[in-house]
A and B are shown apart, each in its own frame.
Chain A
């Protein structure tokens, strides 16, 4: 009796544990979305919802669980910035958010297979969570990682990613990483069209909705592929995700953030308000804030070690303009004296950069430059000052609260309004910089030279190539008359731009600015253009700091979507040529690269399709072609030899360009509707230079079908309308041909990938509301050919209807037809399709059937 009692007691005590341990499903999967920096809960939730919408829309399994791993903001965004910088150098300073996310997931994830989807900084966390889980014993084949707009240099678990060449944030990050010689963000592998709202947004093209709206099919396909690669094999019987041990430091950090975050939000609001004012007065306002962030970063980053000295030093050097070398820095860390011999800085003209070569300090470079180029009023410092130059002054004091670091709180550093800083204790974990106050807050003058042409040069052409040197990745501006053009220096500091000048003498003023806000003195060139005939009226205008748009007077047929003409940025694609033509009826689109870089270097092109309403259409291109023109060749083109095939041509030799294996560079594309258009995009060096063509028709004469709209909906009968995204409510044309009704309708892009849907024929009597006695009650499942938008319901006899492909003027599919009773007076066709897990409805207009 006693033994039995004991047995039952212990059994009942343990049952809940047994049940809990077996609740991890090997069959389904979970997608965990991790947001980027400075994202509210609400925004992160919306982005996750959009992600699932995309997934379901493109036939993703509705059984996949979508879960958010919220990555909160700290210290008004400052904490995010600091954490991001430290993650970029693979030395995250805090695991607080990482553990918070994992701890929440541990109680929510109930499937073995987990796909981590990170956006922006969320990509860093996705990588870190993957590493954590694998180290915790989770089989690597059960976890996947997919990243959007990732600043990381890799995707954990060999996962895939999607980064747009129009993502200005990642382009900026990549450029900065290159400048700092840190591992660079993965290169762009898609071009997502800029949104109308991007024009006013400095950091456009980065927010999740741009990706989720602009590349929905690609993202859905990537996620489906990643989920398909996951396996639950090898998993144990324990919980799906091992919860981290949250110790007392975590609890302390939690308490600190609970107090500091709301406080920092208020301070952040004040900073933003001030920054806005600065920005209005000075276009480098953002850089001031970034510098403030960076300075705060060094208040909390752990003391550099010999292992990471080079990386940390690179950050410090670029941010603070230190004239120390890596060797000096390492010596300081080791407690040694700074070596006497300092390598001379490379001249800006040098195009060869060795990884170990120290970056020229602005001062040194300027000193050298002053010997070669126009003297500039540089802010000179004593030669003996070899320690760090202090940062640009920050308009308001910023204090970094302790608690963000993974270990003991770092000492607080205060950035003062005059640009000096003080270290309150000798144990400051910041870099070994001078504590001397910088008396002047003036910006440093950059090295800058216009190497060609010389002043007062004379040309017989109006297109003049200007070249020069400056600090790597600086933005160069050229102004003449009312026109301002800008471009960006490459990683070597070289730059070039083509300007279209009017006949006569034109004085062009050049200047440059780097990301730290340092600027150059103005350099001018007076150029004489003496044309044999009348002058050209072409003008050059600029749209953004790094994007050049050439305004031309091309006929509208080449630009059916009314979008901007060719847009280029950076050094490579700046050879301006934007020439689409249709010699054989199909598109030949001619471009030109900058002749200074016609040295056989490879670039990539991608493309996107658009329908007759300029909506991005299916299929979404996921291919990339690598193009390498022969040395000396600047002119190239994309030429369609058939509606489903194009080639890349070397226009100067009038031959198809060949790849490294000697094979023609060509591509087959799907059979699209004749009215489809295409946009060509090019990139090189990640996105150091980009090209975006206008949207032009593939078939110059291609037009959508056109029909009259003459049938009249009788009074009292409903007028058709649509809900959802598949059926287009804006298009309905009806007519009678031989007294037989035809109702022409249209699908929306990019949802027209051959949808199938049940069709219900509505056959009504004389009052347009009562079905005829023998009206059909069952549905007919019909389908439309892939990529077809225009279709119709056609009465081919008074009692027989057929679904018709209006674009090819054929029956849409086998069996897509039916009958209506002979006594039908009014008829309509009601359709319901399943898309994204929701119904897509077409509620019909009712017309007299005869």
Chain B
């Protein structure tokens, strides 16, 4: 019995060492997964607010030289929507809060795709959000969702740099599930801000 235990003990020690080695080997991947989870949680938490729709914190006109210099562009009011895009949406839809809300949400989701997707996990999270934005456009603009989608696409993905980034991101495309629940972050039920 003692001999058996001795053999088993060494076996277990060996397995434990192998396991430890695997843990060390896998650490970068696990670390990346943890980072992913944080980014995914951040993507999922990103929502427009009634104040965004009401233009309560509308940013001043950004520097024309800066708006298209990078993929990120300028987001002075830090609401996830590029300032040039936000101002353009307000200019195009000054009276329709519902359409404005839907386009702002969709624009924010597109911008999220451009700036936060680095792998399959973040792609899926961002794509789910973009589909919510698309669904909101659909719900808000019966029959004309395609026009509003195209309009917002053109505002957000407006330079070769951003087009390339958008295409590059598609390499991470995978299967994903549509989210449950309402698509619009802000709806008429909640009100469109002051």
Q: Provide the bound-state CA to CA distance between A837 and B135, in Å.
A: 11
Please name all residues of chain B whose beta carbon is closer than 8 Å to the beta carbon of A42 when the two chains form the complex: 130, 170
> A255 near B: Cβ within 8 Å?
no
Contact in complex: A69, B175 (CB < 8 Å): yes
9-residue interface stretch from B32-40, B60-68, B82-90, B136-144: B136-144
Q: Answer whether A723 and B140 are a contact pair too, CB < 8 Å, given A40-B170, A48-B178, A67-B177.
A: yes
Q: Provide the bound-state CA to CA distance between A209 and B143, in Å.
A: 11
Contact in complex: B139, A724 (CB < 8 Å): yes
Contact in complex: A838, B183 (CB < 8 Å): yes
Contact in complex: A66, B12 (CB < 8 Å): no
Contact in complex: A843, B188 (CB < 8 Å): yes
The digit string for B114-125, where 1 denotes a CB below 8 A from any CB of A, is 000000000000
Q: Provide the bound-state CA to CA distance between A90 and B130, in Å.
A: 37
Please name all residues of chain A whose beta carbon is closer than 8 Å to the beta carbon of B135 when the two chains form the complex: 49, 53
Contact in complex: B9, A53 (CB < 8 Å): no
> A137 near B: Cβ within 8 Å?
no
The digit string for A827-850, where 1 denotes a CB below 8 A from any CB of B, is 000001000111101010000000
Q: Answer whether A2 and B138 are a contact pair too, CB < 8 Å, given A41-B170, A108-B175.
A: no
Please name all residues of chain B whose beta carbon is closer than 8 Å to the beta carbon of A6 when the two chains form the complex: 8, 12
Chain B nearest Cβ from A123, distance in angstroms: 18
Contact in complex: B182, A837 (CB < 8 Å): yes
Q: Provide the bound-state CA to CA distance between A108 and B139, in Å.
A: 27
Please name all residues of chain A whose beta carbon is closer than 8 Å to the beta carbon of B138 when the two chains form the complex: 49-50, 53
Contact in complex: A838, B182 (CB < 8 Å): yes
Contact in complex: B134, A46 (CB < 8 Å): yes
Please name all residues of chain B whose beta carbon is closer than 8 Å to the beta carbon of A642 when the two chains form the complex: none
* B1: nearest chain-A partner, CB-CB: A2
Chain A nearest Cβ from B104, distance in angstroms: 16
Contact in complex: A839, B127 (CB < 8 Å): no
Q: Answer whether A70 and B8 are a contact pair too, CB < 8 Å, given A837-B182, A838-B184.
A: no
Contact in complex: A723, B187 (CB < 8 Å): yes
Please name all residues of chain A whose beta carbon is closer than 8 Å to the beta carbon of B98 when the two chains form the complex: 723
Contact in complex: A46, B8 (CB < 8 Å): no
B134 contacts which of A49, A70, A105, A725 (Cβ < 8 Å)?
A49
- Contacts of B143-180 to chain A: CB distance below 8 A: 143, 146, 149, 170-171, 173-178, 180
Please name all residues of chain B whose beta carbon is closer than 8 Å to the beta carbon of A72 when the two chains form the complex: 173
Contact in complex: A108, B173 (CB < 8 Å): no
* B180: nearest chain-A partner, CB-CB: A62
B176 contacts which of A2, A52, A108, A723 (Cβ < 8 Å)?
A108
Q: Which of A2, A62, A105 has the most CB of B within 10 A?
A: A2
Please name all residues of chain B whose beta carbon is closer than 8 Å to the beta carbon of A724 when the two chains form the complex: 139
Contact in complex: B182, A839 (CB < 8 Å): yes
Q: Answer whether A45 and B131 are a contact pair too, CB < 8 Å, given A66-B177, A68-B175, A841-B188.
A: yes
Please name all residues of chain B whose beta carbon is closer than 8 Å to the beta carbon of A48 when the two chains form the complex: 131, 178
Chain B nearest Cβ from A70, distance in angstroms: 6
> B78 near A: Cβ within 8 Å?
no
The digit string for B9-28, where 1 denotes a CB below 8 A from any CB of A, is 10010000000000000000
Chain A nearest Cβ from B157, distance in angstroms: 10
> A65 near B: Cβ within 8 Å?
yes
> A451 near B: Cβ within 8 Å?
no
The contact size tier of chain A is 35 or more
Please name all residues of chain A whose beta carbon is closer than 8 Å to the beta carbon of B127 when the two chains form the complex: 41, 45
Please name all residues of chain B whose beta carbon is closer than 8 Å to the beta carbon of A68 when the two chains form the complex: 175-176
Please name all residues of chain B whose beta carbon is closer than 8 Å to the beta carbon of A65 when the two chains form the complex: 177-178
Chain B nearest Cβ from A19, distance in angstroms: 18
Q: Provide the bound-state CA to CA distance between A268 and B135, in Å.
A: 31
> A141 near B: Cβ within 8 Å?
no
Contact in complex: B184, A45 (CB < 8 Å): no
Contact in complex: B182, A70 (CB < 8 Å): no
> B194 near A: Cβ within 8 Å?
no
> A718 near B: Cβ within 8 Å?
no
Chain B nearest Cβ from A98, distance in angstroms: 14
- Contacts of A92-110 to chain B: CB distance below 8 A: 101, 104-105, 107-108
Please name all residues of chain A whose beta carbon is closer than 8 Å to the beta carbon of B149 when the two chains form the complex: 46
Please name all residues of chain A whose beta carbon is closer than 8 Å to the beta carbon of B177 when the two chains form the complex: 65-67, 108
* B170: nearest chain-A partner, CB-CB: A41
B5 contacts which of A2, A63, A104, A832 (Cβ < 8 Å)?
A2
Q: Answer whether A67 and B176 are a contact pair too, CB < 8 Å, given A49-B134, A49-B135, A839-B189.
A: yes
B178 contacts which of A41, A52, A748, A832 (Cβ < 8 Å)?
A52
Chain A nearest Cβ from B144, distance in angstroms: 11
Contact in complex: A41, B173 (CB < 8 Å): yes
Chain B nearest Cβ from A698, distance in angstroms: 25
Contact in complex: A66, B178 (CB < 8 Å): yes
Contact in complex: A725, B139 (CB < 8 Å): yes
Please name all residues of chain A whose beta carbon is closer than 8 Å to the beta carbon of B140 when the two chains form the complex: 723
Contact in complex: A104, B12 (CB < 8 Å): no
Please name all residues of chain B whose beta carbon is closer than 8 Å to the beta carbon of A62 when the two chains form the complex: 180
Q: Which of A68, A104, A108, A841 has the most CB of B within 10 A?
A: A68
Q: Answer whether A104 and B175 are a contact pair too, CB < 8 Å, given A45-B130, A725-B142, A838-B184.
A: yes
* B172: nearest chain-A partner, CB-CB: A41
The digit string for B49-87, where 1 denotes a CB below 8 A from any CB of A, is 000000000000000000000000000000000000000
Please name all residues of chain A whose beta carbon is closer than 8 Å to the beta carbon of B131 when the two chains form the complex: 45-46, 48-49
Q: Provide the bound-state CA to CA distance between A105 and B176, in Å.
A: 9
Q: Provide the bound-state CA to CA distance between A6 and B182, in Å.
A: 50
A832 contacts which of B174, B181, B189 (Cβ < 8 Å)?
B189
Q: Which of A45, A48, A721, A838 has the most CB of B within 10 A?
A: A838
Please name all residues of chain A whose beta carbon is closer than 8 Å to the beta carbon of B183 when the two chains form the complex: 838
Contact in complex: A49, B170 (CB < 8 Å): no
Q: Provide the bound-state CA to CA distance between A45 and B149, in Å.
A: 13
Contact in complex: A839, B187 (CB < 8 Å): yes
Q: Provide the bound-state CA to CA distance between A436 and B9, in Å.
A: 76
Q: Provide the bound-state CA to CA distance between A330 and B127, in Å.
A: 51
* B143: nearest chain-A partner, CB-CB: A213
Q: Provide the bound-state CA to CA distance between A50 and B130, in Å.
A: 13
Please name all residues of chain B whose beta carbon is closer than 8 Å to the beta carbon of A107 when the two chains form the complex: 175
Please name all residues of chain A whose beta carbon is closer than 8 Å to the beta carbon of B9 when the two chains form the complex: 2
The digit string for A101-127, where 1 denotes a CB below 8 A from any CB of B, is 100110110000000000000000000
Q: Provide the bound-state CA to CA distance between A69 and B175, in Å.
A: 6
* B181: nearest chain-A partner, CB-CB: A837
> A9 near B: Cβ within 8 Å?
yes
* A837: nearest chain-B partner, CB-CB: B182
Q: Provide the bound-state CA to CA distance between A365 and B174, in Å.
A: 51
Q: Provide the bound-state CA to CA distance between A49 and B138, in Å.
A: 9
Please name all residues of chain B whose beta carbon is closer than 8 Å to the beta carbon of A50 when the two chains form the complex: 138
Contact in complex: B181, A209 (CB < 8 Å): no
The digit string for A53-64, where 1 denotes a CB below 8 A from any CB of B, is 100000000110
Q: Provide the bound-state CA to CA distance between A104 and B120, in Å.
A: 11
Chain A nearest Cβ from B166, distance in angstroms: 8
Chain B nearest Cβ from A720, distance in angstroms: 12
Known: A42-B130, A723-B187, A724-B139. 8 other contacts (CB 8 A): A2-B8, A45-B127, A46-B134, A50-B138, A67-B175, A67-B177, A209-B146, A838-B183
A residues sitting closer than 8 Å to B (CB atoms) are 2, 5-6, 9, 40-42, 45-46, 48-50, 52-53, 62-63, 65-70, 72, 101, 104-105, 107-108, 209, 213, 258, 721, 723-725, 748, 832, 836-839, 841, 843
- 5 closest residue pairs by CB, A with B: A104-B175, A723-B188, A41-B173, A66-B178, A2-B5
Q: List 25 A-B contacts (CB under 8 A).
A: A2-B9, A9-B12, A41-B170, A46-B134, A46-B149, A48-B131, A49-B131, A49-B134, A49-B178, A52-B178, A67-B175, A68-B176, A69-B175, A72-B173, A108-B177, A723-B98, A723-B187, A723-B189, A724-B139, A725-B139, A837-B180, A837-B181, A837-B182, A838-B183, A843-B188
B residues sitting closer than 8 Å to A (CB atoms) are 5, 8-9, 12, 98, 127, 130-131, 134-135, 138-140, 142-143, 146, 149, 170-171, 173-178, 180-184, 187-189
